[in-house]
């Protein structure tokens, strides 16, 4: 198989999803209304609720949901062969991820920018809301802690990425001022930002930064983790337009340039895919393809974390409801393109099958490392860019995405803490909420020692927890659609598939954790399984009630029998404009 074929077919599939299927969802299922007053206008505060240009918001949304996961997941999953990973990424992007992300964004916009956790209370019930928040909290804790470890490891392993990674913060701060304070044309701002960012990459490749050991009384690993958490805490408290939006936007542009470099190299070098289509000789420690493929590749096919971003930050910044198609669905398409690039880099970036098998000798493969090494080899062969610079470009891309997801995760977790406090009758301000998030996450990261590798302790549960959260998010969206008397099938089919695969995977992992005597993971697995099943049962009951009940399509509230509204509807009238 030639990698050029994979690239052309894969890109054609995900782009067709955006131009065809997303248009159907926007007009027939979600019925996006350009005239609807979005929360960014109705509740504008200049901090979290800020009307935003759809291209800038797409950059924030895309880079927040992408992170390192659409690289790591596919880079590991190709151990089963390139075909299963390719099919799940392409079909998942078109029919699962885009629909999920746009649906979560739409549902939140129609409910004053509330998060999925709070929406579950309205549409599923109070018990479901509490359990939903537990799952969300654990998922965000995994993301924040694990991505801190991933970034730390990449900064140490690729010292040439240090200057561009930290320099990007200064570039983003200037871009924010250019867009919102100085009102400079977005195209001009983008060009300046991209030139500055890639100049930093060239400088970083020329002057790699290796920290002394010790530094300020800490090891380099400890120092980087502390620095990352300090930055993430500050970034989560600042108004979104100051750093979060512009940082994510320029990173999104940078990613597409990076993907353009990788795909351009494939076009010119057309490397052969050396990995088997379906691997019949997997390493002994490799779990079964079903169901683990569908939780190993989450971001890049469908991911519950996307629903948290859609309803946590993006919905509060959406200028017009119709922008949700571009921000939500095309954000998923961008991630699918990244996952496709990861598949190509990790299956065609090796000279021989033996070289590939040497890297994929265990299921515990370093996915990011395989992506960087394989991608650098393709870029070097196709475009003649030196291997070291190619590796710097790809490593910087991976670190920047992980960092944007981490700081967005801290902001989202702060919202969760504040919402939990609200349910308990305790008012928690944003500074206190952020401190709580940082203390808990850093406690997990340093739980196994000063090097900070404790952040990966509960990572084995990320895939299943993430996919369960996606199914629960789809359950909320399905209830809303049923209340509005709209076709729920595009949501229900992915909901059932993802829920079954996720619960199946959790059960399989229970046996693994028991055999390995991993009692912490076993306990968390049980908690997540019970909470998810409980919410699923509550959601099923809510769907049944919505299917049978009579609701005002504008407010989603029950229509009293005998009321004028009910009479009008019974006679075929529509007393309110349907949402």
**Model confidence over 227-264: pLDDT tens digits?**
999 999 998 888 888 888 888 888 888 878 888 889 99
Average pLDDT, the chain: 87
Q: Is residue 558 assigned to a domain?
A: no
- The total of structural domains in the chain comes to 1
Beta bridge mates, 558 = 551
Distance CA 22, CA 377 (A): 35
Predicted pLDDT at 161: 86
Q: Is residue 565 assigned to a domain?
A: no
Within 10 angstroms of residue 492's Cβ, the number of other Cβ atoms is 17
Q: Is residue 573 assigned to a domain?
A: no
Q: Is residue 333 assigned to a domain?
A: yes
Distance CA 381, CA 385 (A): 8
Q: How many residues does the chain have?
A: 579
DSSP tag of 560: P
Task: Spell out a b/e string for 548-576, using b for 16 or more CB atoms within 10 Å of the CB, else e.
Answer: eeebbbeebeebeeeeebbeebeeeeeee
Distance CA 495, CA 475 (A): 7
pLDDT at 563 over 60: no
Given pLDDT bands bounded at 50, 70 and 90, which one contains residue 558?
A: low
Domain range for 223 is 3-548
Predicted pLDDT at 550: 60
- Locate 138 and state its tokens: 């654990």
Q: Are 343 and 78 in contact (CB under 8 A)?
A: yes
Predicted pLDDT at 553: 56
Q: Is residue 463 assigned to a domain?
A: yes
DSSP tag of 322: T
pLDDT at 199 over 60: yes
Identify which has the larger pLDDT, 507 or 369.
507
Q: Is residue 403 assigned to a domain?
A: yes
What CATH number corresponds to the domain at position 390? 1.20.1740.10
pLDDT, tens digit, 9 for 90 and up, residues 136-191: 888 888 889 888 888 888 888 889 889 998 998 999 999 989 988 899 998 999 99
Q: Is residue 557 assigned to a domain?
A: no
- Locate 315 and state its tokens: 């919905």
pLDDT, tens digit, 9 for 90 and up, residues 185-197: 989 999 999 999 8
What's the rounded mean pLDDT across residues 33-56? 92
Q: Is residue 571 assigned to a domain?
A: no
Give the contacts of 411 (CB within 8 A, at least 6 positions apart). Answer: 235, 236, 244, 312, 313
DSSP tag of 453: G
Distance CA 109, CA 115 (A): 10
Q: Are 92 and 300 in contact (CB under 8 A)?
A: yes
What's the rounded mean pLDDT across residues 211-218? 90
Q: H or E stretch including 372?
A: helix 367-383
% of the chain surpassing 90 pLDDT: 47
pLDDT at 577 over 60: no
Given pLDDT bands bounded at 50, 70 and 90, which one contains residue 570?
A: very low
The residue behind tokens 């509230």 is 557
pLDDT at 61 over 50: yes
């Amino acid at each position: 198989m030639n990698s050029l074929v994979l690239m052309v077919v894969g890109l054609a599939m995900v782009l067709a999803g955006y131009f065809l299927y997303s248009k159907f969802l926007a007009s027939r299922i979600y019925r996006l209304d350009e005239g609807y007053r979005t929360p960014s206008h109705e509740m504008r505060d200049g901090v979290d609720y800020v009307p935003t240009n759809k291209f800038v918001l797409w950059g924030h949304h895309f880079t927040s949901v992408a992170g390192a996961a659409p690289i790591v997941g596919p880079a590991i999953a190709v151990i089963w062969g390139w075909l299963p990973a390719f099919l799940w990424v392409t079909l998942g992007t078109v029919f699962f991820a885009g629909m999920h992300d746009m649906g979560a964004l739409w549902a939140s916009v129609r409910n004053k920018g509330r998060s999925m956790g709070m929406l579950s209370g309205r549409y599923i019930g109070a018990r479901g809301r509490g359990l939903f928040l537990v799952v969300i909290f654990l998922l965000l804790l995994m993301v924040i802690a694990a991505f801190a470890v991933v970034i730390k490891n990449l900064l140490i392993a690729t010292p040439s990425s240090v200057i561009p990674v930290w320099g990007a913060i200064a570039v983003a701060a200037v871009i924010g001022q250019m867009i919102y304070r100085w009102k400079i044309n977005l195209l001009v701002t983008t060009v300046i930002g991209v030139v500055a960012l890639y100049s930093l990459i060239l400088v970083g490749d020329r002057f790699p930064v290796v920290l002394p050991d010790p530094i300020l009384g800490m090891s380099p690993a400890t120092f980087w983790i502390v620095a990352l958490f300090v930055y993430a805490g500050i970034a989560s408290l600042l108004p979104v337009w100051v750093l979060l939006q512009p940082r994510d936007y320029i990173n999104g542009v940078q990613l597409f340039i990076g993907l353009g470099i990788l795909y351009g190299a494939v076009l010119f070098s057309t490397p052969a895919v050396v990995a088997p289509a379906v691997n019949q000789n997997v390493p002994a420690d490799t779990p079964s393809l079903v169901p683990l493929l569908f939780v190993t590749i989450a971001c890049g096919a469908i991911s519950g974390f996307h629903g948290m971003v859609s309803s946590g930050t993006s919905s509060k910044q959406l200028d017009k409801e119709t922008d949700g198609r571009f921000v939500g669905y095309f954000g998923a398409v961008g991630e699918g393109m990244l996952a496709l690039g990861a598949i190509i880099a990790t299956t065609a970036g090796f000279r021989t099958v033996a070289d590939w098998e040497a890297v994929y000798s265990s299921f515990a493969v370093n996915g990011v490392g395989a992506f960087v090494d394989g991608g650098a080899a393709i870029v070097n062969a196709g475009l003649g860019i030196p291997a070291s610079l190619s590796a710097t470009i790809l490593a910087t891309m991976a670190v920047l995405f992980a960092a944007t997801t981490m700081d967005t995760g801290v902001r989202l977790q702060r919202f969760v803490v504040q919402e939990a406090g609200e349910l308990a009758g305790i008012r928690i301000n944003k500074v206190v909420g952020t401190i709580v998030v940082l203390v808990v996450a850093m406690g997990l990261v340093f739980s196994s020692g000063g090097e900070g590798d404790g952040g990966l302790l509960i990572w084995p549960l990320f895939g299943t927890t993430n996919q369960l959260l996606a199914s629960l998010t789809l359950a909320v969206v399905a209830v809303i659609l049923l209340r509005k008397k709209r076709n729920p099938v595009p949501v229900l089919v992915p909901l059932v598939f993802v829920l079954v695969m996720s619960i199946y995977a959790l059960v399989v992992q229970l046996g693994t954790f028991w055999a390995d005597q991993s009692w912490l993971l076993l306990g968390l697995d049980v908690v997540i399984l019970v909470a998810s099943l409980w919410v699923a049962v509550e959601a099923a009951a809510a769907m049944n009630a919505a299917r049978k009940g009579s609701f005002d399509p504008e407010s989603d509230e029950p229509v009293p029998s005998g009321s004028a509204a009910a009479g009008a509807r019974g006679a075929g009238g529509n007393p309110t404009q349907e949402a």
